Amino acid sequence: MLKSIIATFAVIGAACAAQSSALAQTAAEASGANALISYPSLFHSVEADHGMVVAQDRLAAEVGRDMLKRGGNVVDAAVAAGFALAVTHPQAGNLGGGGFMLIKLADREDVIAIDFREMAPAGASRDMFLDEAGNVDNLRARFSHLSAGVPGTVMGLATALEKYGTMSLKDVMKPSIRLAEKGFPATAALADSLAEYKERFERDPSSLRYFLKDDGSAYARGEKIVQKDLARTLKAIAAKGAAGFYEGPVADLIVAEMRANGGLITHEDLKNYRAVERKAVTGEFRGFEIVSMPPPSSGGVHLIEMLNVLEGYDLKALGHNSADYLGLLVEAMRRAYADRSEYLGDPDFYEVPIAALLDEAYAKKLRGEISFRRASKSEDVRPGLGPRDESEETTHFSVMDAAGNAVAVTTTLNFTFGSSYSVDGAGFLLNNEMDDFSAKPGAPNGFGLIGDEANEIAPKKRPLSSMTPTIVMKDGKAILATGTPGGSTIINIVLQNILNILEFGMSPMQANAMPKVHHQWLPDRIITEPGVPVDAIHIMEERGFIFARDPDGALQQRAMGRTNTIMLQGGKLLGAPDPREPDGGAGAF
């Protein structure tokens, strides 16, 4: 019976091919073969043909995208998104902090690196955070008006726009002024974090006014947050450029805030603040050019130092997040962070041995000390160059267009909501970046990082950072822009993101999402994210690697960083906000 039906179909089919394929399809459907749509990947990036901005806040990403849509370039979009984040993402977006920006324009060979890191006020001194017994007073270093370095963000954004943008400050700032003046609805995540930090805001009358409701209660999800004072400050900047912030009424408010509360920032400090263009650090990994932020960030140097070490192994063959692979990562991290503690600081004050740290021969020496089969002990690992001839919060956003123009920006107030003190009348939070200096040799800062002379406090010096905005190039063209917040974990998170993409062929969304590990030399323990294979952890523990565990033996795990990544592949933009950030978003067209 079946045979005769098929035979009949064959005859008819010869005369009518289309009908036959329709019937064949029906037969396949009937067999259940296509019952469900199936995509090959678990992760899906946002795709776009023209331009994209990925940020920790969706509204800010869309503000940036709108600039691209109006014909602005990637710098216009980045500056617009940067100011919008100061309104919609007060945890880290800022006017009162600092950061770093990398710009690759398709018609230029070099990558521009703008340093707008905060600067120690002229009145700062090496021992300013030590108490009478010579111990570091962490409250003063982290939660006082002394914790604030001279803010750099406004100078950085204004300088980038003036030199490399195409639009006016007025135009790119219009959306952020509107968001501050008319308000925007609090997302669930923003409402939650404002509520979580309520007690800190209550310590400061202006923060209380700016970040809690008039009756002192926390905003609920969906309630409108209006920031009139911030809008006024933004308008002053839009009208006068950086001078609208570093001079005139806004500067007066900053200085008054300092005088009334024992802070150090003066009119002179503000007026003298400059954003500095530095030579980006570059390295090569598997034929890709890695371009990242030089000192005063430690990010680029150590990212490339670790990639140099890891390039000597067939990582793919070891397998992603296998015990062997993770063992190698951790050993590379251990050594890079040991070096960080000794050699990295503001290059205007301390000669950072960048070339020695990035030398191939040094990577080979480090490889010689490393085995994934046996953990080394951090106490046995010292900063590795040998004697020398002596003489929760940050935010990253990426912008890219289909022509290969790219911007990677990381800015910060240091902790979530910075020092939690706001400039009364000016509507913005002050950073607590002074805690990124080494207040005393060997004393850990808020991220457990230690340092020495290279990063000691000095007037007008910039504190060492881990922020690692990075652009990857192939044949002179930008193909990837990425970066993340995460304090001391930043460099390691960016490292793993880049390896996920370049070595393991993952898409931006998958690379962001994959669970990651962190080791920073001291303390000698590995922090893991949920999802790092438990079998790999057990094997590594047998090999002597130490994982952070609670006294009851439970692994201490937490989400680390929030990587915002865009990639240009086959003429298409593929981007992804990090799934760890509830408010993250991509603006694309």
Q: Which residues are catalytic?
A: 394
Least distance (Å) between residue 448 CB and ligand DON: 12
User: 3-class DSSP state for residue 96?
Assistant: coil
d(CA 404, CA 233): 34
Least distance (Å) between residue 242 CB and ligand DON: 21
d(CA 251, CA 569): 45
Q: Is 269 one of the binding residues for ligand DON (CB under 6 A)?
A: no
d(CA 471, CA 335): 24
Hey, what are 33's tokens?
A: 């073969």
Interaxial angle between packed helices 490-502 and 299-310, expressed in degrees from 0 to 180 and rounded to the nearest 10: 40
Q: Which is nearer to ligand DON, 302 or 367 (CB)?
A: 302
Q: Which is nearer to ligand DON, 193 or 322 (CB)?
A: 193
Q: Which is nearer to ligand DON, 412 or 563 (CB)?
A: 412
Q: Is 76 one of the binding residues for ligand DON (CB under 6 A)?
A: no
472 CB contacts (<8 Å, ≥6 apart)? 288, 289, 290, 291, 478, 479, 480, 481, 482, 498, 501, 502
Q: Which is nearer to ligand DON, 233 or 445 (CB)?
A: 445
Of 502, 396, 400, nearest in space to 104 by CA: 400
User: With the C-alpha atoms ordered 99, 360, 561, 339, is the resulting torsion angle positive or negative?
Assistant: negative
Q: Is 118 one of the binding residues for ligand DON (CB under 6 A)?
A: no
Q: Is 486 one of the binding residues for ligand DON (CB under 6 A)?
A: yes
Q: Which of 118, 269, 346, 436 binds ligand DON (CB under 6 A)?
A: 436
Least distance (Å) between residue 412 CB and ligand DON: 5
Q: Which of 414, 420, 496, 564 binds ligand DON (CB under 6 A)?
A: 414
Q: Which is nearer to ligand DON, 479 or 494 (CB)?
A: 494
Of 550, 498, 505, nearest in space to 329 by CA: 498
Q: Which is nearer to ligand DON, 490 or 499 (CB)?
A: 490
Q: Is 497 one of the binding residues for ligand DON (CB under 6 A)?
A: no
Least distance (Å) between residue 455 CB and ligand DON: 11
**Which residues, numbered 456-485, are part of the site for ligand DON (CB under 6 A)?**
465-467, 485
d(CA 23, CA 2): 15
Least distance (Å) between residue 142 CB and ligand DON: 11
Read out DSSP for 238-272?
HHHTTHHHHSHHHHHHHHHHHHHHT----HHHHHH
369 CB contacts (<8 Å, ≥6 apart)? 331, 335, 376, 381
Q: Going residue by residue from 372 to 401, which x/- string records binding to ligand DON, judged by CB under 6 A? A: --------------------xxx-------
Q: Is 412 one of the binding residues for ligand DON (CB under 6 A)?
A: yes
Q: Which is nearer to ligand DON, 378 or 414 (CB)?
A: 414
Hey, what are 449's tokens?
A: 């990082």
Interaxial angle between packed helices 74-88 and 169-182, expressed in degrees from 0 to 180 and rounded to the nearest 10: 20
Q: Do 170 and 444 meet the contact criterion of CB atoms below 8 Å apart?
A: no
DSSP percent split of the chain into helix, strand, coil, nearest 5:
40, 15, 45
Q: Do 375 and 546 meet the contact criterion of CB atoms below 8 Å apart?
A: yes
Q: Is 418 one of the binding residues for ligand DON (CB under 6 A)?
A: no
Least distance (Å) between residue 342 CB and ligand DON: 17
Least distance (Å) between residue 393 CB and ligand DON: 4
d(CA 24, CA 27): 5
Least distance (Å) between residue 487 CB and ligand DON: 4
Q: Is 295 one of the binding residues for ligand DON (CB under 6 A)?
A: no
Q: Is 487 one of the binding residues for ligand DON (CB under 6 A)?
A: yes
Q: Which is nearer to ligand DON, 322 or 466 (CB)?
A: 466
**Count of residues engaged in binding ligand DON, rule: CB under 6 A:** 14
**Which residues, numbered 28-47, are part of the site for ligand DON (CB under 6 A)?**
none
Least distance (Å) between residue 92 CB and ligand DON: 7
Q: Is 96 one of the binding residues for ligand DON (CB under 6 A)?
A: no
Q: Which is nearer to ligand DON, 378 or 466 (CB)?
A: 466
DSSP run (H or E) holding 7: helix 2-15
Q: Is 138 one of the binding residues for ligand DON (CB under 6 A)?
A: no
Binding site for ligand DON (CB under 6 A): 392-394, 412, 414, 433, 436, 465-467, 485-487, 490
